[in-house]
Amino acid sequence: MAKSGQARVLSPSQQQELFSVIKTHRHPEKNLAIMQISFRLGLRTQEIALLQIKEVAQLNPTGTDFKLLEVMSLPAAYTKGANAVRRSQSTYTRKSLSFTVDAFDSVVKQIESLVKAGVAVNPKDFYPPEKKHRGKSRDLPLIDDELRRSLETHLRRRMSKESKLRPSDPLFLSQTCTERLFRHPTWRAA
């Protein structure tokens, strides 16, 4: 199917319907928090997957309690264009070059003088430097009550399953990790 235009956005009534359906399925606390972050803060899937606890909450020294932050600082490394997953790093090959007219004239003159002097010319020596794509860090206010409530519920649920959390722990565990926690003998129904 051809992709055209922007992605469709759910209406507020469709969002509420989605949230009510999420509550009836597995891992409702986690999934509700993920969807709230997506809808309320506009984060991309990759950005949500890379979130760590320290981006949304400050843990106490023992890692057994937390306080939600007022503002989430999304690191530049997580954002679009930052190559956060590092998938394309090893396969990137430069296919085009961009010069301003003045820079191009300057390079041509340098090459002419080197050729006249009898020096071997390697074209790559005259390529302009590569521009690294870097994302931009963003500060996102965590002011929405539903968002805060879902994050708090999710983190409380995590704390009931794990003895303690670390700031660098992922905010959202994969399904496999979540299932291991639920099968753990110390789990008790909330």
pLDDT, position 86? 52
- Could you tell me the pTM of the whole model? 0.64
d(CA 65, CA 162): 12
d(CA 31, CA 22): 7
Contact assessment for residue 70 and residue 136, using Cβ atoms and an 8 Å cutoff: no
- For the beta carbon of residue 32, count every other beta carbon within 10 angstroms: 22
Rg (CA), the chain: 25
Q: What is the per-residue pLDDT across 3-24, written as a single tens digit (0 to 9) for each?
A: 667 777 888 898 889 888 988 8
CB contact set of 111 (below 8 Å; sequence gap of 6+): 121, 126
Average pLDDT over residues 65-85: 78
| Type of residue numbered 40 | R
Average pLDDT over residues 123-144: 80
d(CA 162, CA 181): 7
Across all residues in the chain, what is the average pLDDT?
A: 81
